[in-house]
Chain A
Amino acid sequence: MHNEKQPLFHLARRDEMPKSKVWMIRAASFLAALLIGAALFAVLGKNPMEAYATIVTGSLAKPSALRQTVKIAVPLLGTSLALAPCFGMRYWNIGAEGQITAGALAATYFALHFGKTWSHPVILIVMAAAACLFGGIWAAIPAFFKARYNTNETLFTLMMNYIIIGVVRWLQGGPWEGKPGSQIIPMFPDNAMLPKVFGVHCGWIIIILLTVFMYFYLTKMKQGYEIAVIGDSVNTARYAGMNVGHIVIRTVFLSGAICGLVGYLVTCGANGTLYDSVAAGVGFTAITVAWLAQLNPFAMIAISLMLAVLSKGAGTLQTRMEVPSSVSDILTGVILFSMLACEFFINYKIILRGHQNDGPRGFDPVPPKGAKPADDGRTEGKEG
């Protein structure tokens, strides 16, 4: 009745893995994702090598293409940075999309009404401040309910996206409409547009500064410490005398404010106007970027650039090889899947039948009881 053989394999949690091996696994899984993508191109009857070459050259080879790529990377990186403190607290802010839109909306208000009359620096600074403020407030609403009533923030923030996008649709076809019936908000006057540095709006400089700031904020500053403690255990934070509700609202406000700033950069840097899909899915993609980077701001730069290359390259792919540009979403998805999957091989080891454990090494001969293995018991997205 029973299979008397030993199981084929069983799993055990791994303690630590050498850094070099970790990166090898990640590189291998990235390659695996590219291979899956290659298979997709092959199925479509396109030469995979040519397709990848097109993606890379189409996004990096010419200065104009490179500028486009950077333009795509800037909001992605900015939003990932914005989300880092939230995720550090295990607060699932899925509402970056809406917070970007909120920021863009606030900036647009000033651009449309005072863009021609106020002086260049004044209008830009006021627009930025308004964008940060409104993005922050938009984010803080769910945070308030989370802090006060432990309302599920994953879904609340998600809903907030569609509410603000609906408001922009209304503005587009109503109060802010340009030509009657056009459903389009007029372009900003040049006076309300960001200056360019090396051909790209100066937002990229702001975002690089922000990256450095976020690194220090999370690892060296008191507020960063508070965030890390809350992320580990809310009870511990309370025990340490932290006002958890206050810190959650403050941190989420900061996150929303940075998202709002991203919205500002996108409107008055790149688009020159406001429309309902101003965030263009960046809010969602940034979540995966922040997670894959394990909240390390510098790793976020690399991942954002990679996804930007894919996105820009796919546009070229469409014009040159007649592959729909939505292939970039598929490739992004495949890469995300394989990067998520590979963490398993970093955190667990598979012990095959007949291969015994190589036994204990190390310092602590006393078996654990109170000690828990890494990362268990984390209530991801649920605790307050």
Chain B
Amino acid sequence: MNALILLIYNAVLNGAPLMYGTMGEVLTEKSGNLNLGVEGMMYMGGAIGLGAAFYYEKMAGAAASGPVAVVLAILFAFAAGAFGALIYSWITISLRANQNVTGLALSIFGTGVGQFIGEYMRVQEGGFVAISNGLKTFFQNSPFPASVRGIPVLGQLLFSYNIFVYIAIIIALLMARFLNKSRAGLHLRAVGESPATADAAGIDISKYKYLATVIGGGISAIGGMVYIMTIAGCVWNHDGLAGEGWLAVALVIFCLWKPVGAVFGAVLFGALMIMYVRVQIPMVPDQLYKILPYIVTVLVLIAVSLRRKRENEPPASLGLSYFREDR
């Protein structure tokens, strides 16, 4: 029982960055844009989010406030991802270039920017960029008081996570509501399903695509920051994110383009990633455990393609550019 709770607890923590990465890409793909640059945007978000917290603390010194650092890290990470997504949007939406290639270019560019900033900070600051332990707690500890966290079973299961987990769940619920219940959500889905129809209905295609992609990119990038500030221990290391962004792209399929599904999918993937610590099977080495999430994604991909259901398919115009005067 205890082991199970611990597994779930760790799975949620490990999945938190993925929740953001995936939800951002869900929003992007709903507009018909397949942005393969998630990894790049998460790198940018990670490096710049860390930088924001670090330099804030450096400037404020002992007066640095934890909540301010958290908010700054979120805002800067969001802005970094949104900037990357804006480049992608301009090239694919306004200039109608191929989405796959542009996304890959963003991936290369964003990884470069992230590494560059991380390295640059390291060199400038004499080899080590990390925030103080006092500030770290605001990033890594639960926002709930000890009394709530202390409730048997439920306390650890529900209230012991860092703030980013709860923010992710709120974003997921809001996004689901937006997509399914609001007029703008209906319009966004129409843009992703059939831009020509949406256009003929007087919907501003470019506006929806830009907004969804840029906001989606921002959300994804927060995931990079969350990874660096929680899992990686608030330090920039050279290997950075280790493929989290690509996993997020995969998760979008796994969750069938549903934001709430993204949260559960991320937890499942989080569990797969740490399972080797908790559930040792003799003969199967750790490293092979670590490829489980990818194998599971492949299996889901195959399963989805085997039983085709209209409602489970990707947005119909995913990956295509739209030009009104094309006939």
Contact = CB atoms under 8 A, between A and B. Distances in A.
A169 B286 CA distance: 10
B67 interface: no
Contacts, number: 179
Contacts of B295: 159, 163
B42 to A, nearest CB: 15
A359 to B, nearest CB: 17
A326 interface: yes
A285 B115 contact: no
A152 B253 contact: yes
Interface of B: 34, 36, 40, 87, 90-91, 94-102, 104-113, 115-116, 119-120, 123, 243, 246-247, 249-250, 253, 285, 287-288, 290-291, 294-295, 297-298, 301-302, 304-306, 314, 318-320, 323, 325-327
A324 B305 contact: no
A126 B190 CA distance: 55
Given A166-B290, A376-B323, A333 B108 contact: yes
A380 B319 contact: yes
26 contacts: A92-B100, A149-B305, A151-B304, A155-B297, A155-B301, A159-B250, A159-B301, A161-B246, A162-B246, A162-B247, A163-B291, A163-B295, A167-B291, A288-B108, A324-B115, A324-B119, A330-B109, A330-B112, A336-B105, A337-B106, A340-B91, A344-B96, A344-B97, A373-B326, A380-B320, A381-B99
Contacts of A131: none
A337 B105 contact: yes
A151 B319 CA distance: 16
Nearest to B40: A333
A333 B105 contact: yes
Given A158-B250, A326-B112, A379 B294 contact: no
Contacts of A92: 100
A118 interface: no
Contacts of B290: 166, 169
A92 B34 CA distance: 13
A351 B30 CA distance: 31
Contacts of B294: 159-160, 162-163, 166
Question: Among the interface residues B102, B112, B113, B314, which one has the most CB atoms of the partner chain A within 10 A?
Answer: B112
Nearest to B252: A155
A136 to B, nearest CB: 18
B280 to A, nearest CB: 15
B297 A324 contact: no
A347 B96 CA distance: 10
A284 interface: yes
B305 A145 contact: yes
Contacts of A287: 100-101, 104
Contacts of A291: 98, 101
Contacts of B112: 326-333
A149 B302 contact: yes
Contacts of A328: 112
Closest 8 CB pairs of A and B: A333-B109, A329-B112, A166-B291, A170-B287, A344-B95, A326-B115, A336-B105, A324-B119
B246 A158 contact: yes
Given A329-B111, A332-B112, 5 more contacts: A161-B246, A163-B298, A281-B108, A328-B112, A343-B97
Interface string A73-109: 0000000000000000000101000000000000000
Contacts of B305: 145, 149-152
A296 B319 CA distance: 23
B301 A152 contact: yes
A336 B97 CA distance: 11
A158 B109 CA distance: 18
A334 B109 contact: yes
A380 B123 CA distance: 43
A151 B302 contact: yes
Interface residues of A, number: 60
Interface centre among B109, B249, B304 (most CB of A within 10 A): B109
A358 interface: no
A162 B109 contact: no
A348 B324 CA distance: 13
B325 to A, nearest CB: 7
Contacts of B246: 158, 161-162
Contacts of B100: 92, 94, 154, 287, 380-381
Given A155-B253, A329-B112, A341-B95, A174 B285 contact: yes
B325 A12 contact: yes
A372 interface: yes
Contact of A166 (B101, B288, B298): B288
Q: Pick from A161, A341, A343 the residue with the most CB of B within 10 Å.
A: A341
Interface in A164-182: 166-167, 169-170, 173-174
Interface string A264-294: 0000000000000000010011011001100
A156 interface: yes
Interface in A352-384: 372-373, 376-382
Contacts of A197: none
A173 B96 CA distance: 46
A158 B106 contact: no
Nearest to A166: B291
Given A162-B246, A324-B123, A11 B87 contact: no
A317 to B, nearest CB: 12
Contacts of A347: 96
B87 A337 contact: yes
A343 B101 CA distance: 13
Contact of A11 (B91, B104, B323): B323
Contacts of A348: 96, 323
A329 B243 CA distance: 17
Contacts of B108: 281, 284-285, 288, 329, 332-333, 336
A300 to B, nearest CB: 14
Given A333-B112, A341-B91, A173 B287 contact: yes
A15 interface: no
Nearest to A164: B291
A151 B291 contact: no
A112 B317 CA distance: 49
Interface in A302-348: 322, 324, 326-334, 336-337, 340-341, 343-344, 347-348
